[in-house]
């Protein structure tokens, strides 16, 4: 499927859900619910798109020894020299 058609389809679906929620629960509660559903749908689609190996954090690689770690100093050599990997 063309990505532009898919984008327009998702825009239509979220607009219909927002319209329904605002008409049912009123303006403030409907907007809050539609924002929440929109965020949850985006998280679901991203997770499905990237698979289970998708992480939100930044990992670092030590410049000295090449060890991959989360942050702070290198657990293998103790160096603070690192580069970010996204």
CA 32 to chain centre: 19
Do residues 58 and 46 touch, judged by C-beta distance below 8 A? Answer: no
The pLDDT of residue 54 is above 60: no
Distance, in Å, from the CA atom of 34 to the CA atom of 55, rounded to the nearest integer, reads 26
Distance, in Å, from the CA atom of 30 to the CA atom of 18, rounded to the nearest integer, reads 7
Q: Is 21 helix (H, G, I), strand (E, B) or coil?
A: helix
Same domain, 86 and 64: yes
Q: Which residue has the higher pLDDT, 62 or 49?
A: 62
Same domain, 9 and 35: yes
Same domain, 38 and 66: no
Same domain, 46 and 59: no
Tell me the pLDDT tens digit for each residue of 3-46: 899 889 988 988 999 999 999 999 999 999 999 988 998 888 78
Q: Which residue has the higher pLDDT, 33 or 86?
A: 33
Same domain, 72 and 45: no
Same domain, 8 and 43: yes
C-alpha closest to that of 59 among 71, 75, 73, 72: 71
Question: Can you give the pLDDT at residue 53?
Answer: 55
Question: Can you give the pLDDT at residue 72?
Answer: 87
Domain tally, the chain:
2
Range of the domain at 68: 55-86
Mean pLDDT to the nearest integer, 73-79 = 92
């Amino acid at each position: 499927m063309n990505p532009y058609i898919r984008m327009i389809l998702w825009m239509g679906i979220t607009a219909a859900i927002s319209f329904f929620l605002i008409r049912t629960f009123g303006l403030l509660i409907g907007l809050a619910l539609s924002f929440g559903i929109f965020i949850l749908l985006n998280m679901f689609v991203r997770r499905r798109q990237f698979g289970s190996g998708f992480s939100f954090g930044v990992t670092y690689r030590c410049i000295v020894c090449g060890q991959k770690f989360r942050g702070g100093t290198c657990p293998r050599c103790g160096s603070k020299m690192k580069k970010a990997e996204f």
